Copies of this chain bind each other. A is one copy, B any other.
Amino acid sequence: MAEAIAHELAKKQKEISVAEFFERNKHILGFGNPTRALVTSVKEGVDNSLDACEESGILPDIYVEIKNHEDGECKLIIEDNGPGIVKKQIPHIFGRLLYGSRFHAIRQSRGQQGIGISAVVLYGQLTTGKHAKVISKIQEDRPATVTELAIDTNKNRSEVINRDIMHWDKPSGTRLEVSIVADYKRGKRFVYDYLQSISIVNPHAQITFKEPDGTEHLFERTSDILPRTSVEIKPHPYGVELGTLIKMAKNTKSRKLSSFLKSEFTSMGDRTTKAVCEKAQLDKDLSPKDMSREQFLALHKAFKKIKIMAPSTDCLSPIGETLIKRSLKHETQEISPEFIVTTSRPASVYSGNPFQIEIGVVYGGSLPKDKTVKLMRFANRVPLLYQQGDCVSTSAISSIDWRRYGLEQSSGKGIPSGPAIFLTHMSSTLIPFTSESKEAIADIPEIENEIKLAFRECARKVQSHIHKKVRRVKTREKFELITKILPEIAKKSSNMLDKPVPSLDKVITKIMDVIWIEDLIEYEKISAKPVQSTLFDGSSEKREGGWITKSTVMVVNYKDKPQKFNLYAAIPEDAVVGTVTPKPTKITDNYIKWNLEGIPPADKRDIYFELAGLDKGDFDENDLYVEDINPSYVIGADKWEGD
């Protein structure tokens, strides 16, 4: 009897094709409802186009059109000026899930799964029964190929329905036309938001969006330079899984353990390799293929006991603090926030994958005080629109007690309420999305920790900002009281006694007993002829005109003895320093340092510097530090904590 059951059950066992799986579970890919399906389709198409252009060193020029038909069906067109796709690959790329070029490469790219664009074709076919059309041109003097295709979901293979050639007026590029069931009315706003967000963090891309009624929106290119091309790297020994290590050793061409380690991992030089082998008590000449599980285990443990250099961040392409600030400014232009702070963490590693966290916090202005803080999330320069509740960035933010930073939060947990916007960007060679729809990042402890550290750092900046502001306001009140009332008293008393009005400088100085620092930032538009300026990724950029940021800092000694100390002005990494007076002691990527010698009591020093390569408003507040003086005597600068 029991046997009969087991045999009966065995008959039903069957393989499931991955296309069939996703056909039944389309919501996993982000096609759960017609609104979201529209946004996901646009997103997958645009991400793919951006990746293709960037990989080929082409400035992306992307065209998105939605043609509205009746009955909730529309035609989506996504066209780029990328390198095009060779004829033979078109059916695979657009008609087969889990097929792509970026899965096996360890470098930052938007696509990483080989699912996205074929999922759009699959969804279109499932909901409309229509075929997709791909036009592609790979060389200027040759015609474009036109491929009409469907997906055989039982086999996860493409069926080419028709092939043709045509003349196409562009040097190279790809155009996808796909009919999908979509809710344009509801989805429109999300599509617009997505395209706007992606254009902010991808200033080198030009995106045109044509609505069904013919309205065209142009998201203009604001930088002519491509982001630094992310370099492909090898896995890093930290966090590589034991099973992966064994698999790599089985497949390696290296005959010796030492050469295996050096050639298949990043950050493994001669010295580190030797140290690892010694720690693991393994002969460096062992054949990797002959090693036992115990030997691999020893090797795996040794990795974690030896200090191995962090992976090169060449494989990452972070957004950069200035661009984050700019994008937050853009987002908040009508709000006039009190201030914006940003933080970039150093690169870190999870499961062998390098990653980097950047965050930004906008505070104050006319942001609503009784609503929860707005969260903006990005991964590899792609905005994440859905599944906020399940994202590691949300849980990291929720675990911080924000009440001490002036935000409301019931019982010190959860997303705080208050006038703020929090932006998180993760760049990585492998973003651990919680699902194939790529909308939320999984709760990997290493990532959560980095996000927490970044937000704590920002929160401290916020706190110091508030603190500095409060102290300055208080001192200013005192200052105004003294400088207005004392002279009045002196004048009146002198008149009464018929004596000359005494100089009050020393008295004021004695009462104030501080170094007072004030600053002013102005911008000057420079001529319309092209100028070189430095971009967020460190590369330089040629732009039609630009802005010079001019910062003036006034230091007044209201103490009764001459003062001597060092002053530091923090500057954005991507700014180019112009005129500086007086002569600074040091200029680095991050600061300018002056050695201020003996300022006599009641005397002042004027300090001036110019920054190029920034937009108007990118640098809108001086960040000043002092050294070799008790910082509690200084109003307007903090203690210098070192580089």
On A, residues with C-beta under 8 Å from B are 2-3, 5-7, 9-10, 12-18, 20-21, 23-25, 27-28, 32-33, 36, 52, 55-56, 71, 83-86, 88-89, 92-93, 96, 98-101, 103-105, 113-114, 125-130, 138-140, 142, 153, 171-172, 181, 241-247, 293, 296-297, 301, 370-372, 387-390, 394, 410-411, 414, 417, 430, 432-437, 440, 442-445
Within 8 Å CB of A440, what residues of B? 390
Instruction: Give the top 3 A-B pairs by smallest Cβ distance, nearest first.
Output: A389-B389, A435-B435, A126-B243
CB pair A27 B98 closer than 8 Å: no
Considering the chains assembled together, what is the distance between the CA atoms of A15 and B296 in angstroms? 29
Known: A2-B171, A6-B84, A241-B127. Contact between A387 and B434, CB under 8 A?
yes
Residue in chain B with minimal CB distance to A172: B2
Return the chain B residue nearest A122 by Cβ.
B243
Residue of B nearest to A353 (CB): B24
CB distance from A393 to the nearest CB of B (A): 12
Which residue of the partner chain, among B16, B36, B444, contacts A27 with CB atoms under 8 Å?
B444
- A28, closest chain B residue (CB): B435
Measured in the bound complex, the distance between the Cα atoms of B243 and A104 in whole Å is: 32
Q: How far is the CA of A9 from the CA of B293 in the complex (A)?
A: 37
Contact A7 B389 (CB under 8 A): no
Q: Do B9 and A370 touch (CB < 8 A)?
A: no
Q: Which residues of B contact A105 (CB under 8 A)?
A: 12
Chain B residues, Cβ within 8 Å of A27: 432-434, 442-444
Which of B15, B140, B297 lies in contact with A2, CB distance below 8 A? B140
- A174: nearest chain-B partner, CB-CB: B6
Residues of B within 8 A of A3 (CB): 138-139, 142, 172
Known contacts being A32-B442, A139-B2, is A16 close to B98, with CB within 8 Å? yes
Assuming the contacts A33-B443, A432-B25, asked whether A9 and B129 have C-beta atoms less than 8 A apart, the reply is no
- Of the candidates B93, B129, B242, B437, the one whose C-beta lies within 8 Å of that of A128 is B242
Number of copies: 2
Other than A2-B84, A27-B434, A435-B436, give 13 A-B pairs with Cβ distance below 8 A: A9-B83, A13-B101, A14-B101, A15-B92, A17-B98, A25-B432, A27-B432, A32-B432, A32-B444, A126-B241, A130-B293, A390-B434, A390-B440
Which of chain B's residues have a CB closer than 8 A to the CB of A55? 9
B443 touches A103 (CB 8 A): no
- Complex A-B: 24 CB contacts under 8 Å: A2-B56, A6-B139, A9-B52, A9-B56, A10-B85, A10-B86, A13-B92, A15-B99, A16-B98, A16-B104, A21-B113, A24-B430, A25-B432, A27-B442, A28-B434, A32-B443, A33-B443, A33-B445, A127-B242, A129-B242, A129-B297, A130-B293, A371-B411, A434-B435
Question: Given A436-B28, A444-B27, are A243 and B128 neighbors across the interface (CB < 8 Å)?
Answer: yes
On whether the beta carbons of B129 and A86 are closer than 8 Å, the reply is no
How distant is the Cα of A370 from the Cα of B414 in the complex, in angstroms? Answer: 13
Min CB gap A127→B, angstroms: 6
Query: Smallest CB-CB separation from A130: which chain B residue?
Result: B293
Knowing A2-B171, A129-B246, say if A99 contacts B13 (CB, 8 Å): yes
Note all chain B residues with C-beta closer than 8 A to A370: 410-411
One of B6, B23, B33, B153 near A172 (C-beta < 8 A): B6
| A102 (CB) vs chain B CBs: closest residue | B12
Measured between beta carbons, the chain B residues less than 8 angstroms from A101 are 9, 12-14
Q: A5-B83, A85-B10 are in contact. Are A16 and B100 (CB under 8 A)?
A: yes
The interface residues of chain B lying within 8 Å CB-to-CB of A435 are 28, 434-436
A430 contact set on B, CB distance < 8 A: 24
List of B residues within 8 angstroms of A25 by Cβ: 113, 432-433
- Chain B residues with Cβ below 8 Å from A7 are 86, 138
**Complex Cα distance A297/B69, Å?**
14
Partner of A390 from the list B172, B390, B432 (CB cut-off 8 Å) is B390
Q: A10-B89, A28-B436 are in contact. Are A83 and B2 (CB under 8 A)?
A: yes
Q: Does A85 contact B6, Cβ atoms closer than 8 Å?
A: yes
In the complex, residue of chain B having the shortest beta-carbon distance to the beta carbon of A297: B129
Closest to A171 in B: B2
